Amino acid sequence: MTLAACGSDVSGTAEPAGTSGSPSVSAEATDLNALLVDPSVFPAPYEAIVLPPQAIAQASPDLTGIPAGAEVSPAGCKPKEVRPGEAALIVGTDNTDRATISVELTATDEPLSVRESQLAECAEVQATKSGATSTIRSTVVPAPPIDADDTLAVRQTVSSGTGSDTVTQSMLTLLAQVGDVRIAATYMSFEQGATDGATLDEVFTAAVQKVKAG
């Protein structure tokens, strides 16, 4: 099945939404790390590791392009920060192509539609921290066809620096909500190449299925 969200041919095993009811999953009663996919789910050349709790607070904001503690303009465009114990994160790294695929599980009672509305209203955001400013541009794209309570997909670029020193980071994030658990799979690259949508789709599908299985 092809994910239209990826903007290219992306093969995968995603199931059409609405084929069956999603089980009720409560994050408060669940060990999120136990719901996280195993590193073996990531195919070569991605080398995956599960981040320890103390590293998640630093790594999680990178997946939105907005550093923790940054001042954001327009106001109200800063994503909800993940608090300790409310997330689990695994990161697969392709050292050759300077790319990563991350899967983050978060405990939240906030509907995914709230994040979608925020992204739609915050198509371009300036984030400033320690005197450095970056520009985050977001485009909501067709959601991935997978069986979950709700789904969302967003393409983002994060540009920092000026002139020839400008650095651009590209991301594609696929999200799904299952009960009180939000699954976000993000492909991130600093290279100007095609998104590895096939692997992102594969890992995202496995992540959603793992959460649904409980």
pLDDT at 85: 79
Print the domain residue range for 197.
4-213
The most confident of 22-31, 124-133, 187-196, by mean pLDDT: 124-133
pLDDT at 29: 40
Q: Who has greater pLDDT, 47 or 109?
A: 47
CA distances from 179 to 39, 100, 105, 150 (A): 24, 27, 12, 10
Name the residue among 82, 1, 93 with its Cα closest to residue 49.
93
Q: How many domains does the chain have?
A: 1
pLDDT at 12 over 50: no
- Of the pLDDT bands very low, low, confident and very high (cuts 50, 70, 90), residue 183 is very high
pLDDT at 30: 56
- CATH number of the domain residue 208 falls in: 3.40.1000
